[in-house]
Structure 1
């Protein structure tokens, strides 16, 4: 069970499905037990909490009734009766309030500002509203609510200070204003706001904020601001240098490289060589690290790429290709890169993305970035084609590739990665200087605390390292065996195991035979159940969670409840890696286990369970994407993207149309929210061409989804939906049909076919109301609000209320924008700005970057209308930065035009001309004619070019 109290009380079961807790008193009982954190609560205390001094007759029996009702919902074993009272059985991380505090503590303990900021943001994202909102009026909850609110405000202040160190002062200046107004006496919050205002060029506003603090403190508490706030006030008056924003160089480091769990040993010279070759000033633009599996190519590549982000202002990015099938093409690789770089939702805004490689190359043509393509040996030809395209069109781009063979294209520098250096002598000093020995000793000390290299064990350790040819993976696998064997016994055991020729795989190079022999030896030491779990894990393309491991590995012979213990044993043996709650196999181990899976004759059955597991996961998450758990679901599906793609590939190639269609139907709304429309189109088309049995309704549903996607990705002159056609016809589920009518209808209106589109949206509204689907009703109302000036505001208000009721943040964003447009039509500029700021916060929360740019642009337009040139320029600068980072060309054009208008309002004609000419150039190169027309019109207004 998972309990959420940072907002309305919510309960989720182990499968991620909501659990309804009926009746207010039962919910209050659960809240009281949660407030006590799993400790015992006397019956008298519970009676007081539930009835506040006015208990009913027979209150003890009534309480027992409520407890029984709660047990029926949660399970009898979760609500325990003890002599000291009733207790709710809680695991460590099942309450979001506990998780919130843990994330905050982890953030405060971390030294890296970017990581601190992410952890604080993750903690704050758990809040869905006021804590314990259901029982906020109950006396028993007051102290806990106050405690959690105080913790939240402290984390907000921590987060603001970290964001200041990261240079996010412009955003903070805008965001903290409302929070400061709600908490005018919090000096630390006020000081963060003052710094943000000052760094954003608003010194006067920063000084005014201090005066407001002084006024409130004197009026309400009769005191003056503390020394910290007073000192900051003086520093702002003097414009002291330490208040300046962080330098651009410190803000330009963007990367998704993981932090290694262990140190890299024996590769310092190689790291320096790779870095020197990839230096942004070097002529070398492609380096391929080659070597046998298990030799440490990926670790070397990541180590070399670390600390290079400052040389590449647009980032250093790791793109994992192990999960792509061997039949993948260059566009599949480009799609993976687009997603990794965060260009996915902006790519969707461009029509006709059939050439993803070409689009990506144009999007990053002016960027300076390093892309690490990892595990490419099964994709040498498509990776070579992709690399050639990037190198020929992106002069500031560098590629670092890991593969067991070179790509063989012009400009490639091949860097072989040999095994670690072996000891040449037997004395402990010389042995210790060997890279292979150093790695073995470090991993041995991790497995057996206190283990050190000494004169007694040095010969045995040296023999082990030579026997394993210095291959890092083999050394790491064998080190854990020191828990049960001495170094001498281990060396003897290896000699005995590796000498017989049958252990060696014929036809393999000697060192590859060594690794194979090491894996064979490790396999033989496992129990049968451990072997079953290990080989079945190989079906995953990108690791898995514990629940997925249980679903895929368990069958009639191996019960699911045994999988966690078996996984733990495999982690202890270094055959499985556990990272951030996921279990992974290293690529060499995965390849070996895939062979063992085939030998056991289990490949088809395990793949079928894998496809079923991820299809069901997608279906469980699909509906929750429209509710209060939206952000969590987006993150879960983000994490499982590679496995979900693998499941679809297996379903299509395995002639399992039923699961393929179920999977794409469940995933399309996620792809839409993430802007991955090209992926949606290709996946739907693949599922619809798959062979095998499928439900007719599933096929009709997929065709309707595809129609809506094609309307959003096709040129205006194309006709993916014939005139007068309703792709949703024949669907029996009234809720699904109404939602798909809305989806296709909005696609038609965006395609210029307004009458047909509005007809379908109106039908959607009627269908949703008849089916009592509040989400569908809200979506239709918000869409119709933009097409009906007379009823637009009332439609938007009702749509916003319904989206708020179901807890859909994306829907609230859309409704807020409609309300802002209505407020703008009514001339209510203050409300317009407030609503656009609300939309901006939600868009940033969900990572919807085109929506972020749109909200910033609307805010800039509002500032211009109010005559605030500097504020408008700040907003458009931020919109330009996000647009350029995400390759959102339309956003860049709009931002440049906005900056031109702001400069003109400020009287700077030269700056206005510069921005408008940039907009014109970008518009002509990327196509949107409207942008060109607007830029030309503004230039003509300035009399810088003749009117057309």
Structure 2
């Protein structure tokens, strides 16, 4: 019959003499998997019954099993399976089963060879919950132990394993030691901080003493290295050695240095190169598209300690006064902080040293042109004297040189020079040189490329292909025109972590395009309409099962959402209110609650009753988040009146629930209960279980306010039942949080931990732990109840600061 090979360590597979043998049927595969695990030994009938039917075996178990054994014999051969009085036995050598070989190799002290047998999750496609519960965990444990025992493990694989098994501390220990032994201590320190934060956030615990010991050894052997916000440049950096040394000298004598220069002079790239070469701890804050200097700095720093830090503020010219005020306060409060800024003009701050960036020297300028030309043409230009003339005509401005070099695919250096010369004859200043270089590139574009280039000026910050298609038009010519602009370095591509590509224009290039575009109301209208659609879809998804992923997806479009809203303010009609309503939840998640409230309040009169009702609902929510309960109640009452006027039954039920939430938050529990009962009755009439479930959670809060913990827990259990089969839904997680609070209040630590464990498990599946601090408060109380006081303090601090700008009170 040939040599059989039964593979269970990964996708289920049977081979005979190297050829795949089909094993049809889920139960037949499960039967073979169980028999193979016990190859050569009799497996009792009741064990096989549980493996195939779990807790619901057929009445004639032996007869049903015999049917599947017969099918399996037709695949393996009649002699492969023996029938015994108590069960069945697979009569094959143990070496025919990869699990048995795996155990033999590990027992013989050969983990390297044993791990080569592992192809994925055990019993995949065998489909037997019994196998997954009873046999898979032990196999996974031996697999992980084998990895931990390897003398020279593969570091990328260890990274994957720690991601998949984030709480297995022995794996993390192996990763840290492997990175240390490979001379990558800085990376080991960074991964340790990730692991420590993960433990604190999700379990409220600290790493083991053994892990803390290796962390101390890493700190002693390697300085802490912080590099936040610094992008990885994909192109080579040329020259500027003297400039880098001069910056180093200036920052040693002054704690505030500004690199000043014309557009395209290379200020940004020089600051980043300085950070890479001279600074161990550096944070970069981009100001070009930020709503304010304070916001950009806060987001860039996060929780980083500013002591002994180099903070880079890039593109300060449009916020120079505000930047000067902020850096003055920061430098005064932190004596070891240093700040490097880039700007077209000095900030005018006290103690500021201004370094005016000179042109790129001739030799590195030629190297820069040659390098960028080779990227598009495939070879370095041979005519160095002509390239030298081009660079001199362009005043040594790096961006202008790169734009000129981008035409090397279709033009020789001499042709580039001939076309540049007339444009540059009357442009002695650096800024005019930059403008002339862009102008020259623009006039070499095709008509569709020119049209697209002008229209791209409507975008603020980056944009994706869908946005270009919706806003810029051009039909079938779009992709070709966009490709041409990328090829000519007028449009840059940015690859995101999820594999998608976005595009952007450098600010000098965008300003030139904007000067050509003018006002263009129709284009602005298409831009606003597109981002209204983006906002509306995001608004729906932020209230769905995975708000964290939605938030990450919306953030790159933040500048365009602001730009669309600003333009809509100047237009008649309800567009501005629709944008304010659709973006309210997004700005709430981004902690811009004041701005979101002011936009809704200012334009409430712009919409029809249905739109105003939605806007008032969001306004009430924002006010409630800020504990402005009077404003929240007023907004919700107006929304309720409009819903009743419209005959909107589900909307009316939601408005009643919102009013009940405000009543419960202000101690009016009897009124809250009455409103909840009205809401539940309306949801029941419309057969809306989810809506009824959410109202039950508010009713439970009202009971909690009255100290009726058991009654509140009962309402939360009803809500959990109504959440359906999706245990990771927002309603299910909210209900579990309520049950955790009830358990904490009544001293039931076991139930408290069980509910929080379920919550964290689901949140991890949904793109990480969402930013609502409620589960952190619940974890804080659990840590305190279990005597983990250090963890409780840390969790309380995280919960308190989770929503900067819109603090929520601790649960009462």
SS of the equivalent of 1:574 reads: coil
- Could you tell me whether the CA contact under 8 Å between 1:677 and 1:709 is conserved in 2? yes
Which residue in 2 is equivalent to 1:451? 380
Q: Distance in 1 between matches of 2:415 and 2:742?
A: 80
Which residue in 1 is equivalent to 2:431? 512
Which residue in 2 is equivalent to 1:650? 567
- Could you tell me whether the CA contact under 8 Å between 2:584 and 2:618 is conserved in 1? yes
**Residues 530-567 of structure 1: per-residue CA shift (max 9 Å, x gap):** 1121111111111111111111111xxx22x5423321
Q: Distance in 2 between matches of 1:303 and 1:628?
A: 42
SS of the equivalent of 1:787 reads: helix
* Change in 2 beyond 3 A, CA 1:445/1:171: same
Q: Is 1:549 equivalent to 2:471 in the alignment?
A: no
Which residue in 1 is equivalent to 2:240? 267
Q: What are the residue-to-residue correspondences of 1:707-726 with 2, within 5 Å?
A: 707-714=620-627, 721-722=633-634, 725=637
- Could you tell me whether the CA contact under 8 Å between 1:816 and 1:839 is conserved in 2? yes
- Could you tell me whether the CA contact under 8 Å between 1:381 and 1:407 is conserved in 2? yes
The structural deviation recorded for 1:792 is: 2.2
- Could you tell me whether the CA contact under 8 Å between 1:626 and 1:807 is conserved in 2? no
Q: What are the residue-to-residue correspondences of 1:527-538 with 2, within 5 Å?
A: 527-538=446-457
Which residue in 1 is equivalent to 2:615? 702
Q: Distance in 2 between matches of 1:274 and 1:807?
A: 56
SS of the equivalent of 1:318 reads: strand
- Could you tell me whether the CA contact under 8 Å between 2:455 and 2:472 is conserved in 1? yes
* Change in 2 beyond 3 A, CA 1:572/1:753: farther
Q: Is 1:410 equivalent to 2:380 in the alignment?
A: no
Which residue in 2 is equivalent to 1:293? 263
* Change in 2 beyond 3 A, CA 1:300/1:177: closer
Q: What are the residue-to-residue correspondences of 1:36-435 with 2, within 5 Å?
A: 155-157=160-162, 160=166, 165=188, 166-168=191-193, 169-170=195-196, 197-199=208-210, 246-247=218-219, 253=226, 255-275=228-248, 277-278=250-251, 283-284=254-255, 286-306=256-276, 310-311=280-281, 316-322=283-289, 324=291, 332-342=292-302, 370-393=310-333, 395=335, 397-422=337-362, 434-435=363-364
* Change in 2 beyond 3 A, CA 1:516/1:671: closer
Q: Distance in 2 between matches of 1:131 and 1:386?
A: 59
* Change in 2 beyond 3 A, CA 1:441/1:158: same
- Could you tell me whether the CA contact under 8 Å between 1:796 and 1:819 is conserved in 2? yes
Which residue in 1 is equivalent to 2:421? 495
**Residues 809-848 of structure 1: per-residue CA shift (max 9 Å, x gap):** 5444432211212333454322211322444456671341
Q: Distance in 2 between matches of 1:628 and 1:136?
A: 27
* Change in 2 beyond 3 A, CA 1:676/1:606: same
Bigger Rg, structure 1 or 2: 2
Which residue in 2 is equivalent to 1:661? 577
The structural deviation recorded for 1:851 is: 4.3
SS of the equivalent of 1:729 reads: helix
- Could you tell me whether the CA contact under 8 Å between 1:748 and 1:756 is conserved in 2? yes
- Could you tell me whether the CA contact under 8 Å between 1:782 and 1:796 is conserved in 2? yes
- Could you tell me whether the CA contact under 8 Å between 2:727 and 2:733 is conserved in 1? no
- Could you tell me whether the CA contact under 8 Å between 1:774 and 1:806 is conserved in 2? no
Q: Distance in 1 between matches of 2:763 and 2:307?
A: 25
Q: What are the residue-to-residue correspondences of 1:462-501 with 2, within 5 Å?
A: 462-499=388-425
Gaps of 5+ in 2: 1-10, 12-20, 30-120, 130-135, 145-156, 177-187, 496-500, 704-708
Q: Distance in 1 between matches of 2:275 and 2:724?
A: 44
* Change in 2 beyond 3 A, CA 1:243/1:662: closer
The structural deviation recorded for 1:265 is: 2.2
The structural deviation recorded for 1:485 is: 1.9
- Could you tell me whether the CA contact under 8 Å between 1:711 and 1:751 is conserved in 2? no
Q: Is 1:781 equivalent to 2:696 in the alignment?
A: yes
The structural deviation recorded for 1:638 is: 1.9
The structural deviation recorded for 1:447 is: 1.4
Q: Distance in 1 between matches of 2:657 and 2:338?
A: 44
- Could you tell me whether the CA contact under 8 Å between 1:366 and 1:394 is conserved in 2? yes
Q: Is 1:577 equivalent to 2:476 in the alignment?
A: no
Which residue in 1 is equivalent to 2:51? none
The structural deviation recorded for 1:641 is: 1.6
* Change in 2 beyond 3 A, CA 1:768/1:821: same
Q: Distance in 1 between matches of 2:371 and 2:492?
A: 17
The structural deviation recorded for 1:521 is: 1.0
- Could you tell me whether the CA contact under 8 Å between 2:201 and 2:795 is conserved in 1? no
- Could you tell me whether the CA contact under 8 Å between 2:616 and 2:638 is conserved in 1? no
The structural deviation recorded for 1:400 is: 3.3
Q: Distance in 2 between matches of 1:399 and 1:656?
A: 44
Which residue in 2 is equivalent to 1:898? none
- 734-743 vs 777-786, which deviates more? 734-743
The structural deviation recorded for 1:442 is: 1.6
**Residues 171-219 of structure 1: per-residue CA shift (max 9 Å, x gap):** 66689999xxxxxxxxxxxxxx9x9534367xxxxxxxxxxxxxxxxxx
Q: Distance in 2 between matches of 1:254 and 1:158?
A: 22
The structural deviation recorded for 1:651 is: 1.0
- Could you tell me whether the CA contact under 8 Å between 2:587 and 2:596 is conserved in 1? yes
Q: Distance in 1 between matches of 2:698 and 2:525?
A: 41
SS of the equivalent of 1:400 reads: strand
Q: Distance in 1 between matches of 2:762 and 2:279?
A: 29
SS of the equivalent of 1:373 reads: strand
The structural deviation recorded for 1:771 is: 4.0
**Residues 641-668 of structure 1: per-residue CA shift (max 9 Å, x gap):** 222112111111x224522211222222
Q: What are the residue-to-residue correspondences of 1:925-936 with 2, within 5 Å?
A: none
SS of the equivalent of 1:549 reads: helix
Give the TM-score taking structure 1 as reference length: 0.60
Q: Distance in 1 between matches of 2:562 and 2:248?
A: 33
- Could you tell me whether the CA contact under 8 Å between 2:568 and 2:576 is conserved in 1? yes
* Change in 2 beyond 3 A, CA 1:265/1:336: same
Q: Distance in 1 between matches of 2:783 and 2:162?
A: 27
Aligned length: 646
* Change in 2 beyond 3 A, CA 1:574/1:399: same
* Change in 2 beyond 3 A, CA 1:673/1:887: closer
* Change in 2 beyond 3 A, CA 1:267/1:779: farther
Q: Is 1:563 equivalent to 2:478 in the alignment?
A: yes
* Change in 2 beyond 3 A, CA 1:796/1:564: farther
Q: Distance in 2 between matches of 1:883 and 1:250?
A: 30
SS of the equivalent of 1:536 reads: helix
The structural deviation recorded for 1:472 is: 1.0
Give the TM-score taking structure 2 as reference length: 0.69
The structural deviation recorded for 1:245 is: 6.6
* Change in 2 beyond 3 A, CA 1:528/1:466: same
The structural deviation recorded for 1:366 is: 8.0
Which residue in 2 is equivalent to 1:104? none
SS of the equivalent of 2:408 reads: helix
* Change in 2 beyond 3 A, CA 1:721/1:880: closer
- 855-864 vs 519-528, which deviates more? 855-864
**Residues 616-637 of structure 1: per-residue CA shift (max 9 Å, x gap):** 1111122222334433212111
RMSD, aligned CA: 4.6
Q: Distance in 1 between matches of 2:683 and 2:247?
A: 59
- Could you tell me whether the CA contact under 8 Å between 1:170 and 1:199 is conserved in 2? no
**Residues 376-408 of structure 1: per-residue CA shift (max 9 Å, x gap):** 323333434444444455555544332221222
Q: Is 1:860 equivalent to 2:783 in the alignment?
A: yes
- Could you tell me whether the CA contact under 8 Å between 2:472 and 2:523 is conserved in 1? yes
Q: Distance in 2 between matches of 1:596 and 1:318?
A: 30
Q: Is 1:797 equivalent to 2:717 in the alignment?
A: yes
The structural deviation recorded for 1:803 is: 4.5
